[in-house]
Amino acid sequence: MTPELLITARLPPFLFEPLRARYACHDHFQATDQPALLATAGPRVRGLVQGGGTVTPTVLLDQLPQLEIISVFGVGYDGVPVDYCRTRGILVTHTPDVLTDDVADLATALVLMTARGLVAAERFVRSGEWSRGGPPLTNRLGGKTAGILGLGRIGKAIGRRLEALGMRVAYTGRKPQADVAWRYVPTLAALAADADFLVVACPGGAATHHLVDAGVLAALGAKGTLINIARGTIVDEPALVDALQRGVIRGAGLDVFADEPNVPPPLLAMDNVVLLPHVGSATRETRQAMADLCRANLDAWFAGQPVPARIPELA
């Protein structure tokens, strides 16, 4: 019997088409009548495919009594109720490693864009203002401190890049890491106080919800820029808007938001903020590699073979 899958996110064709060739796919994301789809197909669904940012409520999973595997098209699985999955014996897989370099590149780009005013400089040329004089001076990165929140695979790749730019790297997280020489700072507030750039690179989810709050932003202060390539939920967005409006911090470079694709309107009008549409992993090469791994996880499971990328909690 061809296994049946429920698709709860918008998938690129290079993932969706191969999945359709092997599985009976039910497109819950595009369905006009989702309850009807669940009522008819739910009892037979054995696999679920979702995006990194997709929040999967347990009430949805309750309607999939035969569910065996959730394959996340993304490294972050903060939207998956992991404890619930453990209880029901549902395997959860994701796409680590293949996107690390691209996401780190993007974090580095945001540091460069915010420090060197590159968005404004580019507009300066297009608007013809250059003929009337030079653009404002900006800020050197060399010698400045990058404080990384969450030194996992992506955090380390960011640290290596920023170090190559001549920055000092410090970090905080649950514990010091043995394989790096960078300075460990035990608390986020102390890291923010030290940092010229506070780079958010930890997983999302309940444990990190609003970790970057008004107090952390106050510690970052007027010398500091917040960079976030991880999850919007890690930052208290209203507190960030307030800190930017009142000049508490210097600026922000954001690739992720709490309620994508909705961006808090005040941010859209700010010149000291660079806003990107969650494109950290959005290169052809990386999205293809993510698609291949997302599919390989399903294929291995349904073939009874070792699954390449289970999430660590359920490994």
Residues that bind ligand 8YV (CB under 6 A): 9, 51-53, 73-76, 99, 278, 280-281
Name the minimum Å distance from CB 236 to ligand 8YV. 20
- Our CB check for ligand 8YV shows the closer of 9 and 188 to be 9
Please identify every residue annotated as catalytic. Answer: 231, 260, 278
The tokens for 213 are: 């709050």
In the chain, beta strands by DSSP E: 4-7, 24-27, 45-51, 69-73, 91-93, 145-149, 168-172, 183-184, 197-200, 225-228, 251-254, 273-275
The tokens for 144 are: 């400045």
- Our CB check for ligand 8YV shows the closer of 11 and 60 to be 11
- Our CB check for ligand 8YV shows the closer of 205 and 266 to be 205
H helix or E strand, kind and range, residue 293: helix 284-302
Name the minimum Å distance from CB 76 to ligand 8YV. 3
- Our CB check for ligand 8YV shows the closer of 64 and 103 to be 103
Residue 172's DSSP bridge partners are 149
**196 Cα distance to chain centroid:** 21
The tokens for 160 are: 């290596």
- The closest of 228, 266, 264, 265 to 245, measured between CA atoms, is 266
- Our CB check for ligand 8YV shows the closer of 74 and 159 to be 74
d(CA 311, CA 91): 8
d(CA 194, CA 148): 11
Name the minimum Å distance from CB 274 to ligand 8YV. 18
DSSP for 178-214?
TT--SEE-SSHHHHHHH-SEEEE-S--SGGGTT-B-H
* CB neighbour list of residue 211: distance below 8 Å, 6 or more residues apart: 149, 188, 202, 234, 235
Count CB atoms within 10 A of the CB of residue 31.
16
- Our CB check for ligand 8YV shows the closer of 170 and 311 to be 311
The tokens for 263 are: 């961006």
d(CA 252, CA 240): 9
- Our CB check for ligand 8YV shows the closer of 76 and 253 to be 76
Name the minimum Å distance from CB 123 to ligand 8YV. 27
Name the minimum Å distance from CB 296 to ligand 8YV. 16
Handedness of CA 72, 73, 75, 79 (dihedral sign): negative
Name the minimum Å distance from CB 138 to ligand 8YV. 29
Name the minimum Å distance from CB 111 to ligand 8YV. 19
